[in-house]
A and B are shown apart, each in its own frame.
Chain A
Amino acid sequence: MAPEKIILRFTAETVKKPIIYTLAKEYDLVANIVKASINPDQEGTMVLELTGERYDEGVRFLEQQGIKVQPLAQEVRRNEDKCTHCGNCTAHCPTKALFIERPSMNVQFNQDECILCLMCVKICPVHAMEVRV
């Protein structure tokens, strides 16, 4: 059985919940944490590979906990022609994959650090961040 790749988004409240344990114990799912950006009392993001018969039930459990579950995009890319280097994205990137280089004040995108949370895709004012599914 191939693992399902999903991305979980936590709020500062839901980030406290012990979900991996419940997924394993109650739903018999194997969870492989691919990437995570989790800190106490802060919004967080986790990329999971989830394997098991009761995958749908497990996802329903996560959603009942108030955790947003999305299928994982393959890649986020920056459209270099569109990016205006305003820097607005950098405050919202949880892993600092998007950052301002100083003193040039150019915005850089380090794709290796990207955990595909898609925040930048939502907030980029000129839609320069694009998803490849």
Chain B
Amino acid sequence: MSVERTYKEINERIKAGKAVVLTAEEVIDKVRAQGISRTAQEVDVVTTGTFGPMCSSGVFLNFGHPQPRMRMSKVWLNNVPAYAGIAAVDAYLGATELPEQDPANRNHPGEFRYGGGHVIEDLVAGREVQLKAISYGTDCYPRTKLETTISLDKINEAILFNPRNAYQNYNCAVNSTERAIYTYMGVLKPHFGNASYSTAAQLSPLLKDPYFKTIGIGTRIFLGGGIGYVAWHGTQHFPGFIKDEQGNNLTGAGGTLAVIGDLKQMSSRWLVGTSFIGYGATLTVGIGLPIPVLNEEILEYAAKPDEELYAEIVDYGLDYPNSTGRTLGRVSYAQLKSGTITLNGKEIPTAPLSSYAKAREIAGTLKSWIQKGEFLLGEPSQLLPGPDLGLKGKALT
């Protein structure tokens, strides 16, 4: 008889300390050994994890008022501008923002040693950060200038809100041109000198629920070392599939998450300021999602191994920047993780950008939180849009 579970039943088992939790890596071995049905009967939750650069990240801050009060119209943190076009002492600091006067790519390739993501790391690590603000002054908010030092515990709120994280899948990037190129997929050597990829594959959250049967608004997650939530679907959430020659669905691709959580309970181990030479600054974010084994079908996707998950190979020298839509083929994550792939008869060394070792640690941490009863599953108020809706990106004209 095939198993059916509800969130409520799983949470009761978690509270009783009886829930059976495996990481997405562990569950693969179990399914290989004893099949889907028996594993589905035994396992309540599968935990996933990913730890990679996620540019669409940032933090809403409320500094509290100085005396006299101030309606901050421009704000800088360690000389990095934050968006202050919201209420008086609120601001949003984005991960990719660069300091004023940063040379960026004027001396190519730029270093991008510090940016918004690094400020977020400094804050979450408890380090002091210089706050500078200016205002045009009003009757109720007369102050026009402020320079002071803040730290995370001195300010009212710091809410991490990342509008596009945990990309379901990513291209395997190569470079066909004559020169090295500097991209968000790292440095790509000329003449297909290397191949870059960036997912935790068999551990990665959205690859393990490609039909969005469990992930929705209110899903409780591991976020930056603390507890966070799925707030919405992410920007550019166009879930679909990489297909084989016969048009069969192979691997989910195109889904994204908007996530939210209290920065004050997160850790600089799992939110790390990051620089890509010649490209920019960003934030590496740790995210883990629990997948409740509500039925066998959900487990079947959650147990997909690297051998059955694919990435498309894309030329970042030509096709990606020009949006031609052309791909050079597809490759399994098992091949990518082996260290070399073969493209047109040529062996190409591969390297990841997303840390598989840390993804495993995140899935393991989430597993232990659930086993200890510290983390209950959040039942989504509404599931995220799935691939059946056929959402597609629009091109700007």
Partners in one complex: yes
Report if A22 contacts B (CB, 8 A): no
Return the CB mask of A117-133 against B: 1 if under 8 Å, else 0.
00000110111000000
Cβ contact of B357, chosen from A12, A85, A88, cutoff 8 A: A85
- B residues 297-347 touching A (CB-CB < 8 Å): 337-339
Chain A interface size range: 20 to 34
Q: When A102-B337, A123-B186 are in contact, do A84 and B277 touch as well, CB less than 8 Å?
A: no
Report if A65 contacts B (CB, 8 A): no
What's the nearest-Cβ distance from chain B to residue A14, in Å?
Answer: 14
Report if B370 contacts A (CB, 8 A): no
Q: What residues of A have a CB within 8 angstroms of the CB of B274 in the complex?
A: 125-126
Closest to B360 in A: A105
Closest to A98 in B: B351
Q: What residues of A have a CB within 8 angstroms of the CB of B358 in the complex?
A: 84-86
A88–B337 touching, CB < 8 Å: no
Q: What residues of A have a CB within 8 angstroms of the CB of B337 in the complex?
A: 102, 105
- Bound-state CA distance A104–B187 (Å) is 24
A91–B350 touching, CB < 8 Å: yes
Q: What residues of B have a CB within 8 angstroms of the CB of A100 in the complex?
A: 339, 351
Report if B284 contacts A (CB, 8 A): yes
Report if B165 contacts A (CB, 8 A): no
Cβ contact of B51, chosen from A84, A91, A104, A127, cutoff 8 A: A84
Q: What residues of A have a CB within 8 angstroms of the CB of B36 in the complex?
A: none
Closest to A125 in B: B274
B356–A105 touching, CB < 8 Å: yes
- Bound-state CA distance A104–B275 (Å) is 25
A125–B187 touching, CB < 8 Å: no
Report if B254 contacts A (CB, 8 A): no
- Bound-state CA distance A12–B193 (Å) is 12
> Which of B190, B195, B353, B357 gathers the greatest number of chain A CB atoms within 10 Å?
B357
> Which of B51, B276, B355 gathers the greatest number of chain A CB atoms within 10 Å?
B355
A125–B194 touching, CB < 8 Å: no
Report if A87 contacts B (CB, 8 A): yes
Closest to B187 in A: A123
- Bound-state CA distance A102–B339 (Å) is 9
Interface size of B in residues (CB-CB distance below 8 Å):
32
Report if B292 contacts A (CB, 8 A): no
Q: When A100-B339, A105-B337, A105-B357 are in contact, do A88 and B277 touch as well, CB less than 8 Å?
A: no
Q: What residues of A have a CB within 8 angstroms of the CB of B276 in the complex?
A: 125
A122–B277 touching, CB < 8 Å: yes
B186–A87 touching, CB < 8 Å: no
Report if B23 contacts A (CB, 8 A): no
- B residues 2-53 touching A (CB-CB < 8 Å): 51-53
Report if A37 contacts B (CB, 8 A): no
Closest to B354 in A: A86
- Bound-state CA distance A65–B276 (Å) is 29
What's the nearest-Cβ distance from chain A to residue B170, in Å?
Answer: 13
Report if B349 contacts A (CB, 8 A): yes
Report if A95 contacts B (CB, 8 A): no
A125–B53 touching, CB < 8 Å: yes
What's the nearest-Cβ distance from chain B to residue A131, in Å?
Answer: 14
What's the nearest-Cβ distance from chain A to residue B333, in Å?
Answer: 11
B275–A87 touching, CB < 8 Å: no
- Bound-state CA distance A28–B155 (Å) is 66
A126–B273 touching, CB < 8 Å: yes
Cβ contact of A91, chosen from B52, B194, B273, B360, cutoff 8 A: B194
Q: What residues of A have a CB within 8 angstroms of the CB of B52 in the complex?
A: 86
Closest to A122 in B: B277
A84–B284 touching, CB < 8 Å: yes
A92–B284 touching, CB < 8 Å: no
What's the nearest-Cβ distance from chain B to residue A55, in Å?
Answer: 28
Report if B93 contacts A (CB, 8 A): no
12 example contacts (A-B, Cβ-Cβ < 8 A) are as follows A43-B189, A85-B357, A86-B354, A89-B351, A91-B195, A104-B357, A105-B337, A105-B357, A105-B360, A123-B186, A126-B275, A127-B113
* Top 7 closest pairs, chain A to chain B, by CB: A91-B351, A105-B356, A91-B194, A85-B357, A86-B355, A87-B352, A125-B274
Given contacts A102-B337, A123-B187, A126-B272, 14 further A-B contacts (CB under 8 A): A84-B272, A84-B355, A85-B355, A86-B52, A86-B352, A87-B356, A91-B195, A91-B196, A91-B350, A91-B351, A105-B337, A105-B357, A125-B274, A126-B284
